[in-house]
Amino acid sequence: MKFLKDKILEFRPQFEKGGKYEKFHTVFDGFSTFLFTPDHVTHGGTHIKAGIDLKRTMFFVVIAMVPALLFGMYNVGHQHFISNGEFLGYGEGLIDKLIYGAIKVLPVVVVSYGVGLGIEFFIASKKGHAINEGFLVSGLLIPLVMPPAIPLWMVAVATAFAVIFAKEVFGGTGMNILNVALTARVFLFFAYPTFMSGDTVWIAEKADAYSGATALANSIAGSPGYSISDMMLGFIPGSVGETSKIAILIGAAFLVITGIGSWKIMLSVLMGAAFMGLVFNGLALNEFMQVPFYYHFLMGGLVFGAVFMATDPVTAAQTERGKWYYGFLIGLMAVMIRVFNPAYPEGIMLAILFGNVMAPLIDYFVVQANIKRRRLVRA
């Protein structure tokens, strides 16, 4: 480590203004501050004091996603082998399953980071500002919300689209209105629907005779078709990172303890979903409405979205009271979209994007209500 740091300090003058590699200053700065805590400090009035900068914050979120990623890799392998009638037990052929899953998932991670960071580096050096680390999280979120059988070029196109249209045109990290990873997913969902929905995409290279329908697709007929424990632990077909609720909750606990993810948003999304689920249970007009409300947490990406995507500090509501409304709205919409429109089974994706758009409005009304209340007190 000492050696690396010395090297960085040795090369730094060449990358600074007037140096030989001035053009690559942003790239150099990005890497060096990624490896070591930067030695520059804030000048002038400081209002927020924190030990971690944006890079460490983002890295904590990446750590929180690791359990979901590892389980996702195992599950990709597990689903592939059981569809072919091999290694039916959870523990059997563990290494084979992990290796198979890694072969399927890691290229998606590499493509997503490669394309996203490439665009980010290019724009940063063109505009001459520092490289922002926002993509560290998005780059790992994108593979986690993809079906295992997604072609790599589609991942590349979607990532490029999301980084350019959801982030860079709005001014880069911290300025985006929509969640970048979800924009990539929604782009694929509308551009290449046959690769993002249906029964064939959720298991990589599955045998034809085996039904690969997700719990959500099965629920249209009234029952998820998988046991509660399988759905909780994650041994079901689905997007890579969304299946295991346990792995996601470990990540959620990490985010809440470190204070990075907002527990208010996570909780209120679940409350909104439960409320809407209960309303549907009460109405019970069709089979899907009769599915018990708690199943909605176990199916699809609702929990994953609530923990990793709705809590995105840039696109979520900023006011503390607003976070409750924001989360509740997302949960409510997610279940509503699922049940009302079986063509869009993954309601949480559209619901979070809807919540992202509504977040500034929610904040505005919260702030206005506060102003009004204080005026009345004074009067």
Partner 1 sequence: MSAVETKVQEAKPLLSKKDRALLVDPLSDNNPITIQVLGICSALAVTTQLKPTMVMAISVMAVVVLSNFVVSLIRNLIPSRIRIIVQLTIISILVILVDQLLQAYVYDVSKQLSVFVGLIITNCIVMGRLEAFAMANKPGPSILDAIGNSAGYAWIILAVAFARELFGSGKLFGFQVIPDAFYEMGYVNNGLMLIPAGALFVIAIIIWIQRSINQKFEEA
Binding site for partner 1 (CB under 8 A): 151, 153-154, 165, 169, 187, 190-195
Type and span of the H or E element at 4:
helix 2-15
For partner 1, give the closer residue by CB, 3 or 153.
153
Residues sharing a CB contact under 8 Å with residue 216, sequence separation 6 or more, in sequence order:
224, 299, 300, 338, 345, 346
Instruction: Take residue 274 and report the two structure tokens written for it.
Output: 């439960």
Least CB distance from residue 357 to partner 1, whole Å?
14
Place of tokens 């980010």: 120
- Cα–Cα distance, 76 to 80 (Å, whole number): 6
Give the length of the chain: 379
Query: Which C-beta is closer to partner 1: that of 197 or that of 218?
Result: 197
Distance CA 127, CA 158 (A): 23
Cα dihedral value 104, 144, 233, 248, nearest 10: 150
169 vs 207, beta carbon nearer partner 1 = 169
- Residue 157 CB, shortest distance to partner 1, in Å, is 8
Q: Please identify, using beta-carbon distances, which residue of 195 and 295 lies nearer to partner 1.
A: 195
The least CB distance from residue 109 to partner 1, in Å, is 20
CB of 301 to partner 1, least distance (A): 21
Q: Which of 164, 361 has the CB closer to partner 1? A: 164
Cβ-contact 160, 114 below 8 angstroms: no
Please spell the DSSP secondary structure of 219-287, one letter per residue: HTTT--SS-HHHHHHT-S-SSTTTS-HHHHHHHHHHHHHTT-S-HHHHHHHHHHHHHHHHHHHHH--SH
Shortest Å, Cβ 170 to partner 1: 12
Q: Which residue from 179, 190, 194, 191 is spatially nearest to 147, judged by alpha carbons?
A: 194
Report the amino acid identity of residue 43. H
Q: Which residue has the tokens 């009460």?
A: 282
Whole-number minimum distance, CB 192 to partner 1, in Å?
A: 5
Place of tokens 């993810």: 261
Class of residue 137 by CB neighbours under 10 A (exposed 0-12, middle 13-18, buried 19+) = buried
Provide the minimum distance between the beta carbon of 92 and partner 1 in the complex, in angstroms, as a whole number: 33
Nearer to partner 1, 46 or 194 (CB): 194
Rounded CA gap, 228 and 118, in Å?
42
> In this complex, which beta carbon is closest to partner 1, that of residue 9 or of residue 169?
169
Tell me whether residue 9 or residue 191 sits nearer to partner 1 (CB atom). 191
- Smallest gap, in angstroms, from Cβ of residue 194 to partner 1? 8
Minimum CB distance to partner 1 smaller for 164 or for 284: 164
DSSP 5-49: HHHHHHHHHHHSTTSTTGGGHHHHHHHHHHHS--S----S-----
- Closest distance to partner 1 from the beta carbon of 191 (Å): 4
Q: What's the closest the beta carbon of residue 193 comes to partner 1, in angstroms? A: 6
Whether the CB-CB separation of 64 and 251 falls below 8 Å is answered with yes
165 or 275: whose CB is closer to partner 1? Answer: 165
